[in-house]
Amino acid sequence: MDQRQLGPFKVSAIGLGCMSLSHAYGSPPPREQAERVLLGALDAGYTFFDTAAVYGVGHNETLVGEVLKHRRNEFVLASKCGLTNGDQRELNGSPAVLKATCEGSLKRLQTDVIDLYYLHRWDKRVPIEDSVGALSELVAEGKIKTIGLSEVSAATLRRAHAVHPITALQTEYSPWTRNPEIAVLEACHELGVTFVAFSPVGRGFLAGGVTDVTKLEDGDFRKGMPRFQGEAFEANLKMFGGFADLAREVGCTPAQLCLAWLLQKDGAQVPIPGTTNPDHMLENAKAAEIRLSPEAMARVEALVNPQTVTGSRYAPAMQASIDTED
């Protein structure tokens, strides 16, 4: 796979988001299937794997550590802190909690060092300077190599970067979530921070993976997202029809169209699609080989944009917990 720069690291142009193997989209897959996704991704050329302490409250880090420890030198490992306190889900950016979370992550991941360690969310009760300062101490101690931020605004990124160089900023970005275009992408370019796009296929919707919300499992957090509810969902399904038609014209799948669009939209960013399906993991990797014409790029943006997508990204309570430009 093509390579891109991520701070001091060279990584595959498309990384693997590991969350869905443990968390958020209903029941996790069987262990054997999860192993096929992780090991198959390495064999397919993925060299950037993204997990977090909160995914399954430790389950995902344990899975990644157990399955990939014998191939640890083949990939760049990212994890996150700030949304757990011990074995509890809790937004907490205090230095002591962040450091304790890192110790737990190192044990679960069965590694001596985490390559990229994100503050998963900014706890606004704690100055960003204090949280990033704690992470900088972990760098000095050799427990993490670089620092990242997730779901923060351009202004917060600049404040954090003044304390310690930030390697990556991660937030949701896809044809149907364009918030980073307001200010964050420009700030990343200005500061030399790599942008990492999570949910790059619209939480499966723009891959054609959600055509009937009644079939979503209990525990699937998409059930609480406005875009997947009622009339908004029906309107988005109609919008998706044109997007799927364009993918067929281009000669790729809808998921690949999303990823190819992102890769060409910004030659420096790294999308990290997740999946529980080994075949979809391979399909996503092949998106790095697709080159879209200027016309196709423009048609993607005309079909799927803030004016054609119905519903907000998060429900109000979740939206209040993040620090990004609306």
C-alpha 276, offset from chain centre: 15
> Phi and psi at residue 23, in whole multiples of 5°?
-160, 145
| 124/122 Cα distance (integer angstroms) | 6
Active site residues: 55
Specify the 3-state DSSP secondary structure of 18. coil
| 163/95 Cα distance (integer angstroms) | 14
| 22/75 Cα distance (integer angstroms) | 20
Q: Could you please report the per-residue DSSP string of 182-251? A: TTHHHHHHHHTPEEEEESTTTTTGGGT--S-GGGSPTTBGGGGSGGGSHHHHHHHHHHHHHHHHHHHHHT
| 107/114 Cα distance (integer angstroms) | 11
Q: Could you please report the per-residue DSSP string of 237-303? A: HHHHHHHHHHHHHHTS-HHHHHHHHHHHH-TT-EE--B-S-HHHHHHHHHGGG----HHHHHHHHHH
